[in-house]
Amino acid sequence: MNSSISKRLEQYTAKCPQEVLIVSVEIADEQDEIAIFKGFSSSLTRPTAFDPDVPVLPPQAKIIKIDRVASPYNPETPRYIQQGLSWDDMQVLLAELGV
């Protein structure tokens, strides 16, 4: 996965502010979950750098699944729009929005 993928996902949420993307990834054989909302990414399991130029999704990250969740995101009771999307599934939605 490269930084353009993370930028595309951030652009998607900037265009769809009513959604939060919860991206499950594998980074260096460790699982991580990234929340992407209104154009910004934040790790739910690791520290996130203060510098927005430091990608939360590094180039070597492998997407396991993407969940689309209605905003505001409440981890106790998430309101799923779609669950378990693959990267290929997400690319269709990105293309529809032109990102």
Looking at residue 58, its pLDDT comes to 80
Query: How far apart (Å, rounded) are the C-alpha atoms in residues 45 and 23?
Result: 12
Q: What stretch of H or E contains 85?
A: strand 80-85
* Blockwise average pLDDT, block size 10, the chain, 99 residues: 77 96 93 93 85 78 96 94 96 94
Specify the DSSP element, H or E, that contains 29: none
Helix (H) or strand (E) holding 35: strand 30-37
- The angle, 0 to 180 degrees and rounded to 10, between the axes of the packed helices 3-15 and 87-97 is 50
pTM confidence score? 0.90
